[in-house]
Structure 1
């Protein structure tokens, strides 16, 4: 039996699927990025630790996951590049969709989910960074499931 898919992630995918026009999709991604809120100081302060840095992310994104009282995770992000619109949008999507989701579902999110939001026109560098964000969130859930 496969792991359940995060419901909020599915809902966001459906919203983006309603936007087949690339321009409309970009507008939605920009408005999503505008909702980005950096990691609060009680979670992390600059300089951010290297072990929280997303590998291969050109925008220098960082990710933290904290266990919530219900056993799920709350995700926090920092994006050092002020022009890192894609990384900021992905951070908002991951926080909205994965914070509070069952750990098994978060642990099973595939890297290629990024294409459901950004389309297939992504550069290799941008793809690697966004997939790195997904991979770090997934890894955080797997560690939480393992009791680490």
Structure 2
């Protein structure tokens, strides 16, 4: 795998991947033209675990209709400002069984998600699952 960044102006950089995709990173105040590199890391974590959970639930033939994964992170006060704690919230829609959802999230966190496995070397990663249903949201925190 190969990636590069090119400085474009101010505190903006264009990240380019070997597969031909590009992302603008903005480390300036307000991150007007793109995410900061650390925001991008959190987005990558959410994407990585989402891929796992959707794949696992599809293989189990669970009736998944939606999935949103959000991350809230704390960083160390002094440089390097690494993540020290991350809370992932999985909002699962459809008549997915709670057992299947919990198993999928657990497998992603502990076995399949490469981004999670890298980040857990520096940060404590916790998760909670919210189940969307016709009467609102059931919350199951882990």
Higher-helix-fraction structure: 1
Higher-strand-fraction structure: 2
Higher relative contact order (CA 8 A, sep 6+): 1
- TM-score w.r.t. the length of structure 2 is 0.28
- TM-score w.r.t. the length of structure 1 is 0.28
